[in-house]
Chains A and B, each alone.
Chain A
């Protein structure tokens, strides 16, 4: 079946370091969405990418959608404690949202 692979599963960073998570789909996607889930909370929509090669920025967050519309990435510059949580990608294909497994951002004490 259709799958979206997301890596890494966890990323430990020092506050101020960068963070990146990657998603790769087995099929071409109509669009891809990114969500953030804080510890104990529910996923909250961050952004949607639709066009091939699209790049969008939200302050320190940069989102990219690949040229073939099969892969995407989220990059956070200079992480802060407020960035802690799990980041999910979700690709839309054939009227379904296919979720990645998420990448947990952990700030080292």
Chain B
């Protein structure tokens, strides 16, 4: 089955640590995205990538880093510079950067990160 896999589902981080959240898709989608969701809030864009080896900052990129070395993988690192990292992180992909039909976003199951 095609889809997006995020791991782990739950992650606990000590203050001062960097942690990496995994996102893998086998949908052959060009574009991938990372969102942060706080309780009762909407989705805020952290980073996005429309093509391999290229990515752009979203609205809240500070304290985060990404890489896009392979089309199917878009890992997110939450660095120690992110002062309030406790949140629900969602990875998504779309077929491409075009505005055409059928470009809906497919989401992974999410990773709940908690700072302890």
A-to-B contact residues, CB < 8 Å: 6, 30-31, 33, 35, 41-45, 48, 50, 88, 90, 92, 95, 97, 99-102, 104
Contact = CB atoms under 8 A, between A and B. Distances in A.
Interface of A is mostly: strand
Interface residues of B, number: 23
Given A33-B104, A88-B42, A101-B41, A42 B109 contact: yes
B115 interface: no
Nearest to B43: A99
Contact of A43 (B41, B90, B102): B90
Interface in B1-44: 33, 40-43
Interface string B39-53: 011110100001000
Contact of B105 (A31, A95, A97, A101): A97
Contacts of A30: 99
